[in-house]
Structures are given as structure tokens and as C-alpha cells.
Amino acid sequence: MNKILVQIEKYMQEALKINLPDINTADLEDNGAVFYMNGKNGTAFDWFVNEHFPCFFIFYNDSEKLGAVQAFLYSDGRLSIFVYGDKGHADPKEIVHVIDAYPDQLLKLAVLLTENADEKKIWDSYIRDLASDDTPDDRSVEMFLDSKKYYIPMIERKKLWKMTAIVSKKVREEGWKIGYGMRDKPTREEDSGWYFCAGNETDDYINDPNNLELWRVASVLMYDPALNELITSPYGTAIIRVDHDKFDIDSPEKDMIIEKRQPNPDPV
């Protein structure tokens, strides 16, 4: 088996024995097998967008089959392990290791898992059934790296999630949907440059700082998922709501829809 997977399995089993000493193999699915959980996003997506592999899991062998040990291997070699007691219901304990592998070896493992699991439509399987000691050739690595282009929109959106946006208080306090947005070049590193409002504010209203508040971009997108499509638009872009669940680039021939939403959720 691939030497990186051997290390992952070793560290997960050690975490299980040390932190859950009362659990034996019969209490675990397939006697404590480690599963590669690529069924949700896939190897390439998590590698490029989240900078880690899909998670690895050891599951409890009961009707709920919750996780006993979960591990995330990051592209920098960091391995974060989470141990869940009480049949998976307890808050996890985190243990961090660093895998003994060079960056190119981690990349080649991502390629290998893509070829042996994702491309063969094998999902959430036992790791010993997936990857041998085979080494992907240069062509396979090049093809994998080229696939990053398909994830660029998601990568760019993710960069914005933790940044801030200025939002009119009419959106949160009065329950108006976002009707208008404009993105200017930010002056602060943590600022996305976005300004959002209902679209019915007066100049006096929006010029008063007391009528504006900062939201995380992630909160804006939770409040109105229709913005996802245009949230990575370049600086200088203005957008308007053109339908109940659709925004478009602002232009003179388009009418902006201004409407309220109920109930009025607060941003997270």
C-alpha cells in the first residue's frame, strides 16, 4: 500500500487505541477499516478547493454507524485526526501529526486516488482496496493539475467567504431582499469591495454610516444564494436583481426588482 496511506492508517489506529481503549474491533465497521470518503466532493475538488484530501474515517459498527475516528490530510502534509467517543456523539478530540512525505509525493497520491477511485467511480471505500505502490507518470500528473481550471470559480468564491461586505441595514432590520450590489476596489485586505442594498435607499440614507453594517461574504451568500453566480465579478461591476432568485449585470435596459422577504433571518 502507498506509504502515505500506511502512515494515515497507523496514526488513526493509534488515536483509536489511546483515546478509546474500551472499543475493540468488533465495535467498528469492518473491524476498524479506514475508509476514503471521496463520495461527497471527489479527490480533485477537495485537493484544489479545500487544500486537503477527502476525509478518512473509521466507523462504529452499530445502527447509526457514526464516525469513531476522522482524519484530514492537507496538501502541506499536516494530518488532523478527530476522535469521537460515546459512539460518535461526543465532541471530538483533535490530534495533529505531520506526514513523512514530500509535496510531490502528496500530489502523486492525489493523482493515484483520482485514477484508482474517482475515475473508476469507487466511492467511500476501504483504502487497502484503492491504492498500491504504483507511481503516476508525468502525463497523469499534468492532466490532474490541468483539471484545476474547472475549480477556479469555486476557489475564487472560497477566498471571498471570510472577507467582509458593506450591507444596508434595510436588508436585515426591515427584511428587504438584496436588490443591488456594487463592487469597488477595496482599501482593506479583509474587504471584498462589495456593497449590497435593497435598492430603495435614499442618498441621505446610504451616506449615513449608521445605516450600514459589515457582513461576512459567506453570510451574504447564505442570506441570498442567488448571488453565488456573480460574487466573483471583477471590481467595477454593478448587479441588480432581475427575478425573484436571479441577479444580472446592471444595464439601462434592465429593471431592478425590489421586494421584501419573510421571515427575516439574521446573518450568521
Structure confidence at residue 209 (pLDDT): 96
Per-residue pLDDT at 51 exceeds 60: yes
Residue-level pLDDT at 187? 87
pLDDT score of 133: 76
DSSP the chain: --HHHHHHHHHHHHHHHHH-TT--GGGBGGGT--EE--SSS-HHHIIIIISBPPPEEEEBSSSS--EEEEEEEBTTSEEEEEE--GGGTSPPEEEEEE-S--HHHHHHHHHHHIIIIITTT--SEEGGGT--S----HHHHHHHHHGGGGGHHHHHHHHHHTSEEEEEHHHHHS-BPP-EEEE---SSTTEEEEEEE-S---HHHHT-GGGEEEEEHHHHHHH-GGGGGGTTPPTT-EEEEEETTEEEE--TT-PPP--B-SS-PPP-
Q: What is the pLDDT of residues 198-237, one digit of tens each?
A: 999 999 999 999 999 999 999 999 999 999 999 999 999 9
Mean pLDDT of 165-189: 95
Quick one: average pLDDT of 35-41? Answer: 96
Q: What pLDDT, on a 0 to 100 scale, did the predictor assign at position 168?
A: 98
pLDDT class of 132 with cuts at 50, 70, 90: confident
Q: Using 50, 70 and 90 to split pLDDT, how confident is the model at 261? A: confident
Q: With 60 as the cut, is the pLDDT of residue 265 above it? A: no
pLDDT-above-70 percentage for the chain = 97
**Given pLDDT bands bounded at 50, 70 and 90, which one contains residue 123?**
very high
